């Protein structure tokens, strides 16, 4: 069971101080090293960060992190994260071919683009009822939203990946067939 998962590589991020400090006077984002996550069924993804002051803080919610030092405002967790964790086991995966590429962020109904972002890595749940059903299994991608540097956790069906050497995005959102069959070679 992999409840705590190391990121494929650590990421430097910034944390909203009210999520990690008792100091009400601190308002500037705190530099941090994001090193891992935890998955607990029915709870939001927890982020493990090492703060610049040496404190290790676990299970920080994703909406407390930013990908850059910016002026920030509150963003509801539900705007950035589609679902709570599916089960106790997951893995972090960062495919070299697409990590770092730009993507269009799609609305929950897959009908319009809401902005752009950059792909970081994904969390792939495994061994639970949702992940075992092909029509429910999703890679959940950490995407840094371009507009405000908020980090999102998006299923792969809520983004269109832009690779200028390969993809052609014509403004239409494709209607992708959801996998529903388990395939066997024997």
Instruction: Look at residue 24 in the predicted model and tell me its pLDDT.
Output: 79
Please count the other Cβ atoms lying within 10 Å of the Cβ belonging to residue 23: 9
pLDDT at 30: 96
Q: What is the pTM of this model?
A: 0.91
User: Model confidence at 165, in pLDDT bands (50, 70, 90)?
Assistant: confident
Residue 11 predicted with pLDDT over 90: yes
Check residues 51 and 167 and name the one with the higher pLDDT.
51
Count of beta carbons in the 10 Å neighbourhood of residue 51: 17
Q: Which pLDDT tens digit goes with each residue over 112-123? A: 889 999 999 999
- β-strand 139-145 against 113-125: which pairing, if any? antiparallel
In which band, very low, low, confident or very high, does the pLDDT at 1 lie, cut at 50, 70 and 90?
A: low
Q: Is the pLDDT of residue 163 over 80?
A: yes
Answer whether 16's CB lies under 8 Å from 64's CB.
yes
Give pLDDT, residue 26: 81
Cα 172 to Cα 9, 83, 109: the distances in Å are 34, 26, 14
Average pLDDT (174-182) is: 79
Instruction: Give tens-digit pLDDT for 35-91.
Output: 999 999 999 999 999 999 999 999 999 999 999 999 999 999 999 999 999 999 999
């Amino acid at each position: 069971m992999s409840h705590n998962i190391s990121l494929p590589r650590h990421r430097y991020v910034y944390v909203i101080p009210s999520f990690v400090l008792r100091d009400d006077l601190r308002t500037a984002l705190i530099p941090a090293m994001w090193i891992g996550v935890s998955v607990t069924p029915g709870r939001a993804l927890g982020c493990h960060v090492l703060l610049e002051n040496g404190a290790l803080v676990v299970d920080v919610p994703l909406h407390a992190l930013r990908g850059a030092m910016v002026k920030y405002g509150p963003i509801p967790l539900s705007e950035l994260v589609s679902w709570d964790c599916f089960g106790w086991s997951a893995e972090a995966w960062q495919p070299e071919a697409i990590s770092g590429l730009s993507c269009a962020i799609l609305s929950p109904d897959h009908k319009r683009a809401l902005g752009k972002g950059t792909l970081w890595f994904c969390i792939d749940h495994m061994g639970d009822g949702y992940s075992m059903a092909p029509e429910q299994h999703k890679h959940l991608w950490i995407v840094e939203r371009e507009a405000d540097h908020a980090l999102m956790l998006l299923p792969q069906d809520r983004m269109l990946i832009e690779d200028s050497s390969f993809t052609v995005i014509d403004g239409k959102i494709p209607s992708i067939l959801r996998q529903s069959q388990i395939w066997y070679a024997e």
